[in-house]
Structure 1
Amino acid sequence: MTEEFHRIRRLPPYVFAEVNQAKAKARASAEDIVDLGMGNPDSPTPPHIVAKLVEAVQNPDTHGYSASKGIPGLRRALAAYYGRRFNVELDPETEVIATLGSKEGLANLAAAISSPGDTILVPNPSYPIHQFGFIIAGASVRSIPHTPDHAMLEALDRAVRHSVPKPTALIVNFPSNPTGLMADLDFYRELVAFAKKHKIYILSDLAYAELYYGDRIPPSILEVPGAKDVAVEFTSMSKTYNMAGWRMGFAAGNRKLISALTRVKSYLDYGAFTPIQVASTAALNGPQDCIDDMRKLYKERRDVLVKGLKQAGWDVPVPEAGMFVWAEIPERFRGLGSVEFSKLLLARAKVAVAPGLGFGEHGDTHVRIAMVENTQRIRQALRGIRGFLQGDNAGPAIEAGSDGVKA
C-alpha cells in the first residue's frame, strides 16, 4: 500500500535494514556481535549536564510547551560558543535556532526552501539525510565529488552550467560522515565565492566539529567573511557531549534561511522539552574538559582499530576527525558490494558495520566502521576480522560477473 504514496516511491529500500535484520537474528541466537555499525556514542553524558536536567525537570514550570526556536538562554549559549570557538559573531534572535538534532533541522529546512524539480547538489557518499531530506521534499539531487578540493569545485561549475533549473543549494559536511575528511578555510573561501557568484545557498553540516585528533582543527564555513550572506550551518550536541538520544542541535547563519526554518518549525513542533534545553545550555556554558576526555577516548579507539585492521591485512586510512573509519572493501571481496560484504563480516567475524551503499552509490566499495565500543570490544572485533580475512572461513575469492556476484 505504501507504494501508492509519491514521496515513499522516491525512497529506495533502507540499505541498513538488511544488515540490521541479520544482526538481530544473530543476537536472537545468542551470538555475541560486536556492533560497530551505528554511530551511537556508548559513553554517558557528563554528570554536570545530567544534574542540570534533573534539577530543571523537578520544576513543574518546565513541563509545559517550550519555544519552537529554542529558549533564549540556549540560543545565546550557542552564539557564545561560535564566538569562542570560531570568532564568529551571531545574533541569537535572528541567526540561531535550536533544532531536534541536526538531522531534523536539515530535513525541515529542505522542506522550507525546496520546490518540486529544484536541483540540490550533494556529495556522494554523504550522510543519508543530506540527500533524502531534499528528495522527500520533492527536489532532485545531483551528486558531486565528496572531496574538499578542486574536483568538487570543478563539479560545481559543471553543475551550474548544465543543470536545469540552476541548483538552489549545496550541501557540505566536513569533518565528513562517513569519510572523516576535513576541509580548510581556503576551500571554504572558494566555496563561498562560488555560491555568491551563482546565488546558491550553502548548507554546512558541522556535527563533528570537536572530534579531531591532530593539529588541524575543523573550521566553520561562517568564519569566511560574508559567508552568512549565503550559508547556514548545522551543529549538534550528540557527539560533542555524548547526548545523541537527547536530540538537540542548532542551525546558525543566514537570516533568511533561519527565518524560513523558524516558520516551518513553528507549525510542526514546540521545541525540545525545556529541561533538555536548560541542560544543553549548561553543557555549552559549563566546563569543557569533558570534550577533551571524549577526544582522547576516540583517538585511543581509532589507533587500536586502525593498527589492528592493518595487522589483519586490511589497509585502511587513519581518519583525522570523526568517529568512523571509512574502509575500502578488501579487493578479494569487492565484487560482493558493501551490503553483502557487511553481511558476510557479520556471519563470519561476528562484527557489524555499516554498508557504504547506505551513504550513496559511490560508497558501495566501502564500509563504515564506528568507534562506538571500548578498546576491549574493539580488540575482540579485530580478532574476529583477522580470523575471517586470514583463515579458512573467508571462503574462496569473490568477484562480480556479468550476471551478478559469483564465487
Structure 2
Amino acid sequence: MQFAKRLDALQGNVFADMDQAKAKARAAGQLILDLSLGSSDLPTSAPVLAAIAASLADPTTHGYLLFHGTREFRQVVAQWYTQKYGVGVDPETEVLPLIGSQEGTAHLPLAILNPGDVALLLDPGYPSHMGGVYLAGGQIYPMPLRPEAGFLPVFADIPPSVLAQARLMVLSYPHNPTTAIAPLSFFQAAVDFCQQHHLVLVHDFPYADFVFEAKPPPSILQADPQKQVSIELFTLSKSYHMGGFRVGYAIGNPDLIRALRQIKAVVDFNQYSGILNGAIAALQGDPQLVAQGVDCFRQRRDVFINALEAIGWPVNRPEATMYVWAKLPAPWSHESVQFCQQLVAATGVAASPGAGFGQAGEGYVRFALVHPPEILAIAVDRIAEFLRTYSPVQPG
C-alpha cells in the first residue's frame, strides 16, 4: 500500500510523541501527572452547559448546520469583538465559525499557498501551524525567537530570496510556548511588512484573555483596522474552558474569510448548533468568570515558579498563557526530548520538550499549569528528585 508523500513531513508531533511516552510510563505502573498538554482542567461554566443542555431537547438543532444557520453566532462574535477591541466587524463577510482555531491554521494554507510557496512561521511555534503548511505543499521558513529580542521575530533578518517566494506569515501572541507578549507597535510593524511584501498575515490568538499583570494584549486587527492583509483566529478552549467542544472563529479580511469558507465547505459542516448556543452564552456571559479562571492560573504559576526556584531551578515568571517556558539546567541543556522522556518514565511527570516546537526551542521545556497548586507542588518534588538522580544517556 502506498501513501502520499505529504505524510512524510507529519511523522513527528510533540503531543503524539509525549502521548506514547506517557502510555509507556503508565503501563510500567507510573501515576501520570500530565503537564504536557495545554487543556484547561477548569469546568465549563454553568450558563454555557445550560444553553447546550436546552438545545439537546430541541429537535431543530439535530441536523446539519450550514453557514447561514450560524448567523446568530457570527453576530454575537462581531459584537463581542467590537466591544472588546474597538474595531467594527461585518458578521456576514468578516466572521467564520471554526471547529477550534486549529481548523483555521490547518486549512487556511490550502487557500493561500501553491506547492513550493513559503510560509514564515515562528520558531518555536505551535505544531499545527507547520502541519497546515505541509499539507498545502508549502515550504517553511522558521523565524527564530530569541530571549534577547523578547521572543519576537526580527523581520529584517528574513532573506530577500525567501521573501520572493513567501505568501504567508503566521504570528501568535501571547505566545505558545514561550509565553511572550507582543505590543501593538510590533503588530503595526508586522502589518506594514506584510503589506510591503504582499503577504497574508495570520494571527492565532487563543490566549487573548490569559494575561496576568500586563495590559490586555492587542488584536492584530487593531493594527490593521481596515483588514487589508490580516485574519485572526480565536478559540473558546482557553478563556471559557471549552476545549472538548471544539468551537472558535476566524475574523478579518473578507477575501480571506471567503477563501477559508471555500476550503471548509468541502471538508466539513459546522459543529452541532447546540455547541454554538453554548458559545453564544459564553461570549455574552459575565466577564468576571473569565477573570476568575485567569486568576486561578496566576496562582498556579506563582506556586510552580516558587517551587522550582526553591529546588534551584530559576525560571522567568510568565506574564501570560497557561505555561511555564523553562530553560533546561545543565547537563540537560541540549536534550529536551530525552529529558521529557526520562522524566515521565522515572517520575510520571509529563512535560513537552522544547525541540518539539521547533529547532529554536531546543534547550527548553514547557510545563502546562493544568492541575491545582498542591498537585503542581508534588510534580516539582518529583522533578527535584529526578534532577538529583538522573543525567542524560550518552550515545554509544
**What's the TM-score once normalised by structure 2's chain length?**
0.95
- Letter in structure 1 aligned against 2:362: D
Alpha-carbon offset, residue 227 of structure 1: 5.4
- Letter in structure 1 aligned against 2:194: A
Task: Show the 5 A alignment for 1:221-240.
Answer: 221-226=220-225, 228-240=227-239
Residue 362 of structure 2 aligns with which residue? 364
Distance 1:147 1:259, change over 3 A: farther
Q: How many angstroms apart in 2 are the aligned matches of 1:188 and 1:302?
A: 27
Residue 376 of structure 1 aligns with which residue? 374
- Letter in structure 1 aligned against 2:390: A
Structure 2 residue 199 is matched with structure 1 residue 203? no
Alpha-carbon offset, residue 382 of structure 1: 1.1
CA contact (8 A) 1:7 1:136 kept: yes
Task: Show the 5 A alignment for 1:231-310.
Answer: 231-310=230-309
Alpha-carbon offset, residue 11 of structure 1: 2.2
Structure 2 residue 129 is matched with structure 1 residue 130? yes
Residue 329 of structure 2 aligns with which residue? 330
Alpha-carbon offset, residue 226 of structure 1: 4.3
Alpha-carbon offset, residue 221 of structure 1: 1.0
Alpha-carbon offset, residue 153 of structure 1: 5.8
CA contact (8 A) 2:112 2:168 kept: no
Distance 1:150 1:127, change over 3 A: closer
Q: How many angstroms apart in 2 are the aligned matches of 1:140 and 1:65?
A: 36
- Letter in structure 1 aligned against 2:343: L
Alpha-carbon offset, residue 201 of structure 1: 1.1
Residue 313 of structure 1 aligns with which residue? 312
CA contact (8 A) 1:118 1:167 kept: yes
Residue 187 of structure 1 aligns with which residue? 186
Residue 338 of structure 2 aligns with which residue? 340
Alpha-carbon offset, residue 83 of structure 1: 1.1
Could you tell me which runs of 5 or more consecutive residues in structure 1 were left unpaired when the two chains were aligned.
400-404
Residue 42 of structure 1 aligns with which residue? 41
Distance 1:124 1:69, change over 3 A: farther
Q: How many angstroms apart in 2 are the aligned matches of 1:385 and 1:340?
A: 14
Q: How many angstroms apart in 2 are the aligned matches of 1:17 and 1:62?
A: 34
Q: How many angstroms apart in 2 are the aligned matches of 1:91 and 1:100?
A: 20
- Letter in structure 1 aligned against 2:86: N
Structure 2 residue 384 is matched with structure 1 residue 386? yes
Q: Superposition RMSD on alpha carbons, in Å?
A: 2.0
CA contact (8 A) 2:74 2:97 kept: yes
Q: How many angstroms apart in 2 are the aligned matches of 1:150 and 1:27?
A: 38
Task: Show the 5 A alignment for 1:3-42.
Answer: 4-42=3-41
Alpha-carbon offset, residue 17 of structure 1: 3.5
Distance 1:16 1:278, change over 3 A: closer
Between the two proteins, the alignment pairs up a number of residues equal to 395
Alpha-carbon offset, residue 15 of structure 1: 3.8
Residue 169 of structure 1 aligns with which residue? 168
Q: Per-residue CA shift, 1:208-251, capped at 9, x if unaligned? A: 00011013211101012445100000000000100001000111
CA contact (8 A) 1:70 1:97 kept: no
Greater mean alpha carbon deviation, residues 350-359 or residues 158-167: 158-167
Residue 402 of structure 1 aligns with which residue? none
CA contact (8 A) 1:205 1:234 kept: yes
- Letter in structure 2 aligned against 1:363: G
Distance 1:52 1:150, change over 3 A: closer
Percent same amino acid among aligned pairs? Answer: 35
Alpha-carbon offset, residue 308 of structure 1: 0.6
Q: How many angstroms apart in 2 are the aligned matches of 1:333 and 1:225?
A: 42
Q: Per-residue CA shift, 1:96-147, capped at 9, x if unaligned? A: 1000000011111111111101111001000001112111111101011236
CA contact (8 A) 1:126 1:178 kept: yes
Distance 1:32 1:73, change over 3 A: same
